[in-house]
Amino acid sequence: MHTTRLLFIGGFLGAGKTTLLENISQRLRNQGHTVGLITNDQAPALVDTLFLAQNDQEVAEVSGSCFCCNFSGLISAIDHLHHTIKPTIVLAEPVGSCTDLSATIFQPLKQQLDRSFTLSPLSVVIDTRRLLDLFHNRATDLHPDAAYILGKQLEEADMIVVNKIDLIDVQQRATLQEYLKDTHPRSTCFFLSAKTGEGVQDWLDAACASNDCGGHIVEVDYDKYAKGEAVLGWLNATLALEGTATDWNHFAKVALSSLGNQLDAAGVNVGHIKLFLATETEPAIVANLTGPQETLDVRGPQRVSTAAYLTLNARAELPPADLEALVRQTLQTLCGSALNQTVIEWQSLRPGRPQPTYRYDHVVTPS
């Protein structure tokens, strides 16, 4: 009987989940697996979907609400992949500001999925910068209610995946290992770098070998949870740009640098800002900002042409209207009279109160 393993990779905005998904997807394909991916967001026009799909990977997108609030959408995405490519493994990335996944996703999946599916442990990714802030008992760059979500994500994790270890030294790593042993003794912890690949295979092997999943149901204050999501303004936009010959790599760098500088100057915390620029020739240019200006990363070749499609996702602690105005003004300044903008998709919003389809108060033992 054909079986499919489901691996959910959660964690707060900016933790590096999408880079990790790209890394492990390629590893699994090289090992002979057929891989499907499921992305998730509160609105369509998602950079992650475009980024993961650019290497001919099969990606299903659940947009409009999170997995837990659109459980039927998640099941439909799983079924779509199951019937189109018959994957041996499906990698799913929940919305970065979501928590309570064990109670709202894992327990109903364990009860409803048939034996052709196997669930891996819930892996929650956190980057070293935020984990060091927690260790030193420093205020993170997050609003307290958003930080509450981050804490609950770690509390419910079967596996805590500490990403970006290339940014810390050996002593800091040892300190964080001891810290997690003391604060989250029920979770198995892994340290890795999605960027360099260090430690990735050890975690992936462990996640794919275990069926011990959704073992921790935590108490969640949904009023505080809703406030934590609502402090972030969300913007998803897709535009066609056309005009004079433009260096799109430079365009991406200047666009995100400008947004980052303005948000830093205003003291606004950034969940993430992601940009995807596609021309007629692949590969695309991908840029992201996951916090202060120094986190800016741009990948892709130098390319000059007269037209491109731009998809931009922004999550920042601003009212949606203010975030929208900032992005529009930045793009207008950058494009000037040299590039015409045609809006294909544009949504700005503040996430509503989470309303899970299911919420179990106990751990389900699969039959």
pLDDT in tens, 332-343: 999 999 999 999
H or E, element range at 278: strand 270-278
Q: How many CB atoms lie within 10 A of CB 282?
A: 10
- Residues 252 and 214 both lie in one domain: no
- Give the pLDDT score at 282: 67
Q: Please say which residue of 228, 255, 270 terminates a domain.
A: 228
Mean pLDDT over 225-251 rounds to 96
**Strand, coil or helix: 149:** helix
* Cβ-based neighbours of 286, under 8 Å, separated by 6 or more: 47, 51, 274, 275, 276, 277, 298, 299, 300
Residue span of the structural domain in which 287 resides: 232-349
Mean pLDDT over 224-243 rounds to 96
- Residues 54 and 28 both lie in one domain: yes
Mean pLDDT over 39-62 rounds to 89
Is pTM beyond 0.75? Reply is yes
Quote the percentage of the chain above a pLDDT of 90. Answer: 85
Q: Is the pLDDT of residue 204 over 70?
A: yes
Do the domain assignments include residue 257? yes
- Residues 315 and 206 both lie in one domain: no
Do the domain assignments include residue 295? yes
Do the domain assignments include residue 356? no
Mean pLDDT over 28-48 rounds to 93
- Residues 216 and 284 both lie in one domain: no
**Which of 14-18, 54-58, 110-114, 265-269 is least confident?**
54-58
- Give the pLDDT score at 114: 86
Higher-confidence residue of 366 and 312: namely: 312
- Give the pLDDT score at 1: 53
What would the pLDDT profile of 101-138 be if each residue is shown by its tens digit? Answer: 999 999 999 999 988 899 999 999 999 999 999 998 87
Confidence category of residue 365, pLDDT binned at 50, 70, 90:
confident
Do the domain assignments include residue 364? no
- Residues 192 and 287 both lie in one domain: no
- Give the pLDDT score at 115: 85
Q: Is the pLDDT of residue 322 over 70?
A: yes
- Residues 155 and 267 both lie in one domain: no
Q: Which residue from 289, 301, 280, 295 is spatially nearest to 327, judged by alpha carbons?
A: 289
What would the pLDDT profile of 90-103 be if each residue is shown by its tens digit? Answer: 999 999 999 999 99
CA atoms within 13 A on the CB side of 130: 29
Q: Which residue from 219, 29, 200 is spatially nearest to 123, judged by alpha carbons?
A: 200
- Residues 195 and 274 both lie in one domain: no
- Give the pLDDT score at 139: 61
Q: Please say which residue of 208, 228, 248 terminates a domain.
A: 228
> How far apart, in whole angstroms, are the C-alpha atoms of residue 90 and residue 156?
21
Mean pLDDT over 67-74 rounds to 96
- Give the pLDDT score at 367: 64
Confidence category of residue 57, pLDDT binned at 50, 70, 90:
confident
- Residues 222 and 89 both lie in one domain: yes
- Residues 311 and 173 both lie in one domain: no
Mean pLDDT for all residues in the chain: 94
What would the pLDDT profile of 273-300 be if each residue is shown by its tens digit? Answer: 999 999 887 679 999 998 888 889 999 8
- Residues 237 and 219 both lie in one domain: no
Q: Is the pLDDT of residue 269 over 70?
A: yes
- Residues 53 and 130 both lie in one domain: yes
Strands (E), 22-112: 35-41, 58-63, 89-92
Q: Please say which residue of 206, 228, 250 terminates a domain.
A: 228
Q: What are the counts of helices (DSSP H) followed by strands (DSSP E) for the chain? A: 12, 14
Mean pLDDT over 25-37 rounds to 96
Do the domain assignments include residue 102? yes
In the numeric block, which tokens belong to residue 215?
């073992």
**Burial degree of 261 (CB within 10 A; 0-12, 13-18, 19+):** middle
* Cβ-based neighbours of 331, under 8 Å, separated by 6 or more: 239, 255, 341
- Residues 273 and 161 both lie in one domain: no
Give the count of domains, the chain.
2
